[in-house]
């Protein structure tokens, strides 16, 4: 039978595995047992929902066998099995390998073994300890059985075999021992016991192995004889059913890593039970890193759903609100029907009640973390805060009550995060608005000329750097009665009566100059006016109420929004020397004023991060002005 080649990414990953010197290679056993347990879950679920596939719970087991002579370790389960096509797709390529990120990460990963866990490629970890892997399997839903075998990189073979029992038997031919690594340890009873205990104790099916026992010799009671006996190595109590006081941090971490395909410990564990109309236990985790594809469409969120300890489905999406879709974990309820399908999930009122209860609990956990573990919360926010903001925006503000106090922003005060509550509490009495400024990064924002007046007043300014920020804030509209105010939009409301009057007089006195500049700039601005928000800078660009400059900048990335523009106003600092220069030019050579106006507008655009429409014309004008000045 011809050998088949692995898909390119799988090959690369295999290469990583085979040459891995990863110190933690022992986790291969946890991965294979976890796969076996999943397969048993599937078979049991099938048996409960389809009368043609009855199976007794006691026949659902995982068997481990060692053969020291041949250096093989076997992991056998009586689970759902795989047919030929499933072998091909599940073992010939890496599950979930379609994404471009995956390929890109793999390219970089030659030295970085972390990628292995990140993408959930459990089965392949067998190649960390095995030089050859043989998988015999018979599916519950097929009459035929097949063997998949591979010695690694040069491909795999699938052949038809005879196998009576349903399930999967994986044989690992261990690598030869080296100085660094004693692979033969995996043939030792003590080692296997240790690993099962450490990583797979909670598995809800018996993990059995033939162990050697010493019993009294019936013919001579001063002696013992050794016999073989089948022993169950795990306690089989699911972790979430155990008493919380009896569970160590380590237990949670190992459980999380083995079940939810992560390589690193979770940042936060949320474990609780609810008794009442709807009784359930939830064991939830917040990952300590952002999953590589979290902000892509191929990221699948959701919780595992169990009913009375029976696995029902993976990634039940309807249990989690969008805002908390970074949470993984499981829910086990006494009160759910076994026959609930993915389609019905959304309509089921029990499920709705469950989802809303989960939402509250997650919310409380986050609030609690913010209040009592600020540093941890900030870390969390760095990973998933963006998702909270997206949801605030996408839900049209409907979730604002839940979300508004979970938001963090950097600000002009110090280089640290503030909540909106902290911001408002820190406001001087006379301050009426919550000021914010937008830009692509903190350094850029800190230099915006329009910050000057607000800063001078001693008011804090929120620095918004994510593209969704201003959209999300516009959904909130206000916080505790204080409206949000962009520093580059509309009226900042900072002028005293005197200042207002002075500004009016200046405007009146320079009416013709301002009109001439506006005429020179045509439709690019709605108005040219005297500014009261600038201190040192000559000009700035602001937007009238409505679409902001930042929103225009973001929306313009999508060609569909080509015509969407903010209504712009060019503001001039009347106390800057440029103002005198403009007055002079207007008196002496009104034609030249057009060039001045155009250059100043483009400068203001650049500072705001907006493109200038004709860069060549702009630079030509500057050059001309330089030459004129030198003459």
Footprint of ligand ADP on this chain (CB under 6 A)? 31, 35-36, 39, 77, 79-82, 90, 95, 120-123, 168, 261
Q: Is residue 19 classed as helix, strand or coil in its secondary structure?
A: coil
Q: Which is nearer to ligand ADP, 85 or 217 (CB)?
A: 85
Residue 49: CB minimum distance to ligand ADP, A = 18
Residue 77: CB minimum distance to ligand ADP, A = 5
Residue 16: CB minimum distance to ligand ADP, A = 14
- Which phi-psi region, left, alpha or beta, contains residue 345 (left: φ > 0; alpha: ψ -120 to 50)? alpha
Residue 416: CB minimum distance to ligand ADP, A = 39
**Distance between CA atoms of residues 310 and 316, nearest Å:** 15
**Distance between CA atoms of residues 316 and 369, nearest Å:** 26
Q: Which is nearer to ligand ADP, 35 or 598 (CB)?
A: 35
- In the chain, the N- to C-terminal Cα span, in Å, equals 87
Residue 45 Cα distances to 48, 53, 200, 302, angstroms: 5, 10, 21, 19
Among candidates 121, 115, 118, which has minimal Cα distance to 90? Answer: 121
Residue ranges of the alpha helices (H) in 395-548? 400-403, 420-425, 442-446, 452-456, 469-476, 497-509, 511-521
Among candidates 189, 172, 168, which has minimal Cα distance to 73? Answer: 172
**Distance between CA atoms of residues 64 and 233, nearest Å:** 10
Residue 243: CB minimum distance to ligand ADP, A = 29
Spatial contact of 159 and 1, defined as CB atoms under 8 Å apart: yes
Q: Which is nearer to ligand ADP, 79 or 130 (CB)?
A: 79
Residue 221: CB minimum distance to ligand ADP, A = 45
Full strand arrangement of the beta sheet holding 568-572: 527-530, 568-572, 539-543
Residue 339: CB minimum distance to ligand ADP, A = 23
**Distance between CA atoms of residues 7 and 94, nearest Å:** 8
Q: Which is nearer to ligand ADP, 10 or 510 (CB)?
A: 10
Residue 87: CB minimum distance to ligand ADP, A = 8
Q: Which is nearer to ligand ADP, 302 or 609 (CB)?
A: 302
Q: Which is nearer to ligand ADP, 300 or 432 (CB)?
A: 300
Q: Which is nearer to ligand ADP, 120 or 397 (CB)?
A: 120
Q: Which is nearer to ligand ADP, 300 or 456 (CB)?
A: 300
Residue closest to ligand ADP, measured at CB:
122
């Amino acid at each position: 039978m011809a050998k088949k080649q692995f898909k390119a990414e799988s090959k690369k990953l295999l290469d990583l595995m085979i040459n891995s010197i990863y110190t933690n290679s022992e986790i291969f056993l946890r991965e294979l047992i976890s796969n076996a347990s999943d397969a048993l879950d599937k078979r049991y679920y099938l048996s409960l929902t389809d009368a043609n596939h009855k199976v007794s719970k006691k026949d659902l087991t995982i068997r481990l066998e060692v053969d020291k002579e041949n250096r093989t370790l076997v992991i056998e389960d009586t689970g759902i099995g795989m047919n030929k096509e499933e072998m091909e797709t599940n073992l010939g390529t890496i599950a979930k390998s379609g994404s471009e990120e995956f390929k890109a990460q793999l390219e970089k990963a030659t030295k970085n073994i972390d990628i292995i866990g990140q993408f959930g490629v459990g089965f392949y970890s067998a190649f960390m300890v095995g030089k050859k892997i043989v998988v015999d399997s018979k599916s519950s839903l097929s009459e035929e059985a097949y063997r998949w075998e591979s010695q690694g990189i040069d491909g795999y073979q699938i052949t038809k075999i005879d196998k009576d029992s349903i399930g999967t038997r994986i044989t690992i031919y261990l690598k030869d021992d080296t100085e660094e690594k004693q692979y033969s340890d995996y043939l030792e009873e003590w080692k296997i016991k240790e690993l099962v205990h450490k990583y797979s104790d909670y598995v809800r099916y018996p993990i059995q192995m033939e162990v050697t026992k010493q019993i009294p010799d019936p013919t001579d009671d001063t002696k013992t004889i050794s016999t073989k006996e089948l022993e169950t190595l795990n306690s089989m109590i699911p972790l979430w059913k155990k008493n919380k006081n009896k569970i160590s941090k380590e237990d949670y971490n190992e459980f999380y890593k083995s079940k939810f395909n992560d390589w690193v410990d979770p940042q936060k564990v949320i474990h609780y039970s609810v008794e009442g109309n709807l009784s359930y236990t939830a064991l939830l985790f917040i990952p300590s890193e952002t999953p590589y594809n979290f902000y892509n469409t191929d990221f699948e969120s959701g919780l595992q759903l169990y009913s009375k300890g029976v696995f029902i489905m993976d990634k039940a999406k309807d249990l989690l609100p969008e805002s908390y879709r970074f949470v993984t974990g499981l829910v086990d309820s006494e009160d759910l029907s076994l026959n609930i399908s993915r389609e019905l999930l959304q309509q089921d009122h029990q499920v709705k009640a469950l989802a809303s209860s989960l939402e509250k609990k997650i919310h409380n956990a986050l609030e609690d973390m913010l209040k009592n573990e600020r540093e941890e919360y900030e870390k969390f926010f760095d990973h998933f805060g963006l998702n909270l903001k997206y949801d605030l925006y996408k839900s049209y503000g409907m979730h604002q009550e839940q979300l508004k106090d979970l938001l963090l922003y950097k600000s002009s005060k110090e280089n640290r995060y503030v909540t909106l509550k902290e911001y408002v509490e820190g406001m001087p009495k006379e301050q009426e608005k919550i000021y914010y400024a937008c830009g692509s990064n903190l350094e850029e924002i800190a230099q915006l000329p329009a910050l000057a007046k607000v800063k001078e007043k001693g008011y804090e300014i929120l620095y918004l750097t994510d593209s969704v920020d201003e959209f999300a804030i516009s959904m909130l509209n206000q916080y505790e009665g204080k409206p949000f105010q962009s520093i580059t939009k509309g009226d900042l409301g900072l002028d005293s009566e005197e200042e207002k009057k002075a500004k009016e007089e200046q405007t009146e006195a320079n009416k013709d100059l301002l009109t001439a500049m506006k005429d020179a700039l045509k439709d690019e601005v709605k108005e040219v006016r005297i500014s009261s928000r600038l201190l040192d800078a000559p000009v700035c660009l602001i937007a009238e109420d409505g679409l902001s400059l930042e929103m225009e900048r973001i929306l313009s990335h999508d060609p569909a929004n080509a015509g969407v523009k903010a209504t712009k106003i060019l503001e001039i600092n009347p106390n800057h020397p440029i103002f005198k220069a403009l007055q002079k030019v207007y008196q002496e050579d009104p034609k030249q004023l057009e060039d001045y106006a155009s250059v100043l507008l483009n400068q203001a655009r650049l500072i705001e991060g907006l493109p200038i429409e004709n860069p060549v014309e702009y630079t030509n004008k500057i050059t001309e002005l330089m030459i004129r000045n030198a003459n």
